[in-house]
A and B are shown apart, each in its own frame.
Chain A
Amino acid sequence: MTRTLILLRRRLIGSIFVLLIVVIGTFLLLESAPGDAVDAYIASTGGDAGMIELLRHRWGLDQSALTRLANYLWALLHLDLGQSVTFSRPIREVILQRLPNTLLLMGSATAVSFGLGSALGIYAGARPGSFRDRFLSIGSLAVYAVPGFWLGLVLIIVFAVDLRWFPIGGIESLASGKTGLDRAMDIASHLVLPVSALGFIYLALYLRMMRAGMAEVWRQDFVLAARAKGLSRRRIVLAHVARNALLPLVTMLGLQSAQMLGGSVVIESVFSVPGLGRLAQEAVAARDTPLLLGIILTSAVLVVIINLLVDIAYTVLDPRVGASEASA
């Protein structure tokens, strides 16, 4: 237990610096993009010089970039994410509304890709070089090579437009008034296609990693020893070969969660899922700096938490990890 706590403390201190760098970096990046929130706004409305000046003043854009950054950081210190000019609402509220959708989408997709990917990987890796191994490896590579949005569109055309098994998009039926289990089922049916599109692409990654790892482990001496001991093949595959090949997958899981947030921008747009990815895209187009910073901070915190969980999982899966700190 103490091992985990030490890890936690070390990670938290590191994370604060990471987050600060992320915030300042994003701010400067968006600041150097041409055009500001008012330019983005008047692109759709038009307006005269007086109105433009009025808007710049009202949205605080007549202050210098440094003042705005300082104000933002000061507010952040008080855990205030500020006000979105795009939505005229507190940013915390806007993000909290979208976050569950992204988490649901990302979580399910990760579970599918990790679960199914490693299971298939074990199946393929149990007999490296066999027909089923070749088939799965090549098949998964083919899926991995497909761009996510294209897979999404194909799924929509086949399963939503032609077969009409699933809805084409959204997170739930519009203003349906459903509650409880009905609503959960409704959301689940809306998630099938986007989760498949997002999950299948990363599935290949886990499958191939698992398979490659197992192919490696098969050659180790302890596998020979296990065989000599007369263990069943099933036991050798699961308890000895697969478990040892699992560790890199867990590392991958942490890294990939960050990537999944990025991948969901595209999938969220294609499937009209109101999540964080789409919000980020809108924030950039509208040059809504505080909103984008809020989203990036949220994602960064999310990634930090997931990686922390991965580290903790590591200490459980592999007793060697963190042993030095515990004894110190």
Chain B
Amino acid sequence: MSDVTISRRTVLAGSASLLASTALPTIGLAQTPRKGGRLVVAADSEPRNLNSAIVASNGVFFISSKIVETLAEASFDGKDGLEPRLATGWEGAADGLSVTFKLREGVKWHDGKPFTSDDVAFSALQIWKPLQNLGRTVFKDLETVDTPDELTAVFKFAKPTPFQLIRNALPALSSVVPKHIYETGKIEENPANNAPVGTGPFKFAEHKPGEYYRLEKNADYWGKDQPYLDEIIYQVLPDRTSAASALEAEEIQLAAFSAVPLADLDRISKVPGLKVITKGYEGLTYQLVVEINHRRKELADLKVRQAIAHAIDKDFVVKTVFLGYAATATGPVPKNDPQFYTADVPTYAFDVAKANALLDEAGYSKGDDGKRFSLKLLPAPYFNETKQFGDYLRQALAAIGIDAQLVNNDSAAHIKAVYTDHAFDLAVGPPVFRGDPAISTTILVQSGIPDGVPFSNQGGYKNDELDALIAKASETLDTAARTELYKEFQKKVAADLPLINVAEWSFISVIRDTVGNVANNPRWAVSNWADTWLEG
């Protein structure tokens, strides 16, 4: 056998350097992208605020990332997994107190005004740090942003801040909005929040509530020959079955974010002209997690938590709940993360006998009815899969003598019950891994978080060792040392089980084969689609 291996990544890297372009061909040789056309996309909801500088969430990015750009975007093969957007270069000082961004020249806002370092300074200090859902954590120590010239922005931090964290945060947290539009009046009430003005390849054209969003080509876009499409329309399709029908009827060309239910994928993949694509979401990994209320005395016992971990057949969950479109998890960092993941953690094989033995050891023997104790189990309602896993978990717990009562709520009620009232024993949650554990992962196990903060440790778990480790990692500047600390973090979490990571999944796109340059970066659905094109 030949020992020459050609990985997809090296092929792509080669072709990228040949083309010297960001437009990577998805299949075989590069077809020449055609200009023009209207891309119609399914949207399942209408975010109430389209300002991605304030609300860094996928629902908002799905639409606004085409209009408002970030400093950098995620990339399969760029240095540190990044590709330049509004910034062309970035460099962190050795003391961790400053980061210098070189900005792109000749960029104009959609209203014709030039984009400068003032806009970056304004966005960072007035929006990301005080108002943004994620930026409030990552940029908490940002003190000033110096603008020595129009194309340089220097972020100054009060405390040393790891450059690695800032880099990893760029794709999701660094949407730049125009200072001249936001500097008057209250930022939260600015009309541009619902009709964004940005520098991106598409301009916001109109929103007909309940019907569609329409984006128009930005003829003055900085990217050479881009964008290819004339128009993008997001058609609001609230019913989960309608996206599949609309694709089949050729009324829409793309349903992203698993708008087509997993159960329909097998059938729809056989429809001529439609493709099912699992790529393009590598930077948006969701984790299926069992959240644990450590205030319950049974659950405060490590043996009981280990028993629950042993009772869950992760392979079965991946196969049955996710129909194979997921991976089993070993700890709080997903396997597909290129920087931090380690497999070297304690694992819990599916073993009902062992789980039962652990529970006996812990002193919770079976009663006459075969039950050891009862629990309240609250599956999060946001995804079909979290609800289905709730059903599975109930059965898995029954097999080890734990009687779980399912409590199904809608989103608002679930958030309140779990994160404010702590009225749960076990909950099923889908936290998101955002490329760096410090963005939204360590908060899941860290102590001292006020009541009411969603997607955080509200289970009353406190582990001083783990808290110290998280604190140390947050101020460790050296990338290698910092990465090592997060590997340690994964080991500790997997050993002490403040929560149980079951599986990791991403989304699926179903798309017409006439759409070109699809899924060519790890956050494709929420990237700017400047190079996406439609066959005539």
- A interface residues with partner B (beta carbon < 8 Å): 33-37, 39-52, 58, 85-88, 94, 97-98, 153, 156-157, 160-161, 164, 167-171, 174-175, 269-272, 274-275, 278-279, 285-287
Contact = CB atoms under 8 A, between A and B. Distances in A.
Contact of A39 (B57, B188, B233, B412): B412
Contact of B415 (A42, A98, A156): A42
Interface stretch (B210-218, B388-396, B487-495, B523-531): B210-218
Interface in B392-440: 409-417, 420, 440
Nearest to B136: A48
Contact of A285 (B245, B410, B417, B420): B410
Contact of B48 (A87, A97, A271, A278): A87
B413 A35 contact: yes
Interface in B124-156: 131, 133-134, 136-137
Contacts of B362: none
Interface of B: 40, 45, 47-49, 55, 57, 59, 131, 133-134, 136-137, 188-189, 193-194, 206, 208-212, 214, 231, 233, 235-239, 241-242, 245-246, 248-249, 251, 382, 409-417, 420, 440, 449-455
Given A34-B417, A52-B452, A175-B231, 4 more contacts: A47-B136, A49-B449, A94-B209, A174-B211
Contacts of A85: 48
Contacts of A46: 57, 133-134, 440, 454-455
Contacts of A269: 238-239
Nearest to A85: B48
Contact of B453 (A49, A87, A175): A49
B212 A47 contact: no
A72 to B, nearest CB: 19
Contacts of A161: 245, 248-249
Given A39-B412, A272-B238, A278-B210, A164 B249 contact: yes
B454 A174 contact: no
Contacts of A45: 55, 57, 133
Contacts of A97: 209-210
Contact of A168 (B251, B450, B454, B455): B251
Nearest to B244: A161
A88 B245 contact: no
Contacts, number: 147
Contact of A44 (B57, B248, B251): B57
A220 to B, nearest CB: 49
A41 B235 contact: no
A272 B235 contact: yes
A34 B421 CA distance: 10
B57 A274 contact: no
A271 B420 CA distance: 37
Closest 6 CB pairs of A and B: A274-B210, A35-B412, A40-B412, A43-B411, A35-B416, A34-B413
B454 A43 contact: yes
Contacts of B242: 156, 168-169, 270-272
A241 to B, nearest CB: 43
Nearest to A266: B239
Contact of B59 (A44, A94, A279): A44
Contact of A86 (B48, B136, B417): B48
9 contacts: A34-B409, A88-B193, A98-B210, A168-B246, A168-B249, A175-B214, A175-B233, A271-B242, A274-B236
Nearest to B193: A88
A98 B453 CA distance: 35
B414 A170 contact: no
Contacts of B48: 41, 85-88, 286
A86 B411 CA distance: 15
A47 B453 contact: yes
Contacts of B413: 33-35, 39
Contacts of B49: 88
A174 B411 contact: no
A50 B233 contact: no
Contacts of B452: 49, 52
A40 B212 contact: no
A40 B411 contact: yes
Contacts of A42: 415, 454
A286 B49 CA distance: 14
Given A171-B211, A174-B212, A47 B133 contact: yes
Given A33-B413, A88-B194, A174 B453 contact: no
Given A40-B412, A45-B133, A175-B212, A169 B246 contact: yes
A275 B208 CA distance: 12
Contacts of A168: 242, 245-246, 249, 251
Contacts of B47: 44
Nearest to A55: B188
A37 to B, nearest CB: 8
Contacts of B455: 46
A274 B450 contact: no
Contacts of B248: 161
Most buried by B among A37, A157, A164, A272: A272
A49 B411 contact: no
A174 B245 contact: no
A170 B416 contact: no
Contact of B239 (A157, A174, A272): A272
Most buried by A among B209, B237, B248: B209
